[in-house]
Structure formats: C-alpha cells, structure tokens
Amino acid sequence: MFEELADWEVRAVRAGDPLSFGYFRQTHPEDAVALLMIIVRAKFGVAMNAWGGWAFWCVSRAQSGEPRHTLVFEISPAGRPLRLADSRQGGFLQLERGSAG
C-alpha cells in the first residue's frame, strides 16, 4: 500500500499505442488510473466492460526526472484497475501468482 503523496504520470495504451495521458497527484496510483479512465471513456467512447486491450502505465519520477517507480495496470471486467506489473517487485505480478494473462 502506498502512503506517500506522489505525482503520477499516467498513460493509457491500447494495443501498444499510447492514446492519452495525464498527470495526477495521488496517494494511490489506482486512483490516478481511475481518473484517466474517466477521460478515456469520454474521449474514445469506451464502454465500462470494454477495457480489453487497454493498459495504464503509471510513473512517478525523482526530481532529476529519472523514473522512481513504474506500475502497469489492466482493467478488470468490473471496471477496476488491477496491478499487472511493478518495477519494485521486478516483474509481472499476475503471471508470478499463476493467473492467466
């Protein structure tokens, strides 16, 4: 769980193409993803249950501009961000836990 306020650079990517981005100051990166989801839904007309192929990349940066923490989320069938990868954990979390894709 994250407890420090951070500036998150969030990119919405579909089929490998970055389509939208935003900067959000949040304690939890999932909240930053949820905010960008609202923008993406309005901009691209994405239905709540049609997030297949979308990923959300979250990066917090040090003052030098170097990435400090990177997270990748996919969206669950219920429309909630699910953490797929974490740079601090060293890999793709769901694959390590044995879940499919």
Tens of pLDDT, residues 2-36: 557 889 999 999 999 999 999 999 999 999 999 99
Give domain status of residue 101, yes or no.
no
The pTM assigned to this predicted structure is 0.83
Give domain status of residue 65, yes or no.
yes
Q: Residues 43-97: pLDDT tens digits?
A: 999 998 899 999 999 999 999 999 999 999 999 988 999 999 999 887 655 544 4
Give the chain's domain count.
1
Range of the domain at 39: 6-96
Distances in whole angstroms, Cα of residue 79 to Cα of each of 3, 35, 36, 63: 24, 12, 13, 33
